[in-house]
């Protein structure tokens, strides 16, 4: 179990490291192809994207295009099964 836990932790760390440098290419594959992402409200960002390609095209792509520099999303803690004693 620890090997799978460490593999999963490494995948998540790689995804967030990419986000830190403005690269969502390791983050998006973590989601299922039939992902549905709903942004509630009535702003220009409010929408319901169905499917990973739609989420990438309609939400992630436009969002990252608006960043003037790298997107800083740095996790403070990544919990994995082994970290919880499971």
| Mean per-residue pLDDT, 53-79 | 81
Q: Report pLDDT for 20.
A: 78
Strand, coil or helix: what is 47? strand
Q: Report pLDDT for 57.
A: 93
Q: Render pLDDT for 25-43 as a digit per residue (tens, 0 to 9).
A: 888 889 999 999 999 999 9
Give yes or no for a contact between 30 and 11, defined as CB atoms under 8 angstroms apart. Answer: yes
Q: Is the pTM of this model over 0.75?
A: no
Q: Report pLDDT for 71.
A: 64
Q: How far apart are the first and last CA of the chain?
A: 9
Structure-block tokens of residue 13 = 């760390």
Decide which of 3.40.30.10, 3.10.450.50, 3.40.50.10540, 3.90.1150.10 is the CATH code for 2-84. 3.10.450.50
Q: Report pLDDT for 66.
A: 84
């Amino acid at each position: 179990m620890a090997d799978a836990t460490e593999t999963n932790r490494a995948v998540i760390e790689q995804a967030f490291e990419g986000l830190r440098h403005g690269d969502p290419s390791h983050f998006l594959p973590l989601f299922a192809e039939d992902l549905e992402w709903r942004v509630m409200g009535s702003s220009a960002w409010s929408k319901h994207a169905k499917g990973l390609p739609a989420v990438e095209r309609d939400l992630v792509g436009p969002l990252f295009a608006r960043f003037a520099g790298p997107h800083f999303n740095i996790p403070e803690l990544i919990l994995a099964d082994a970290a919880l004693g499971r």
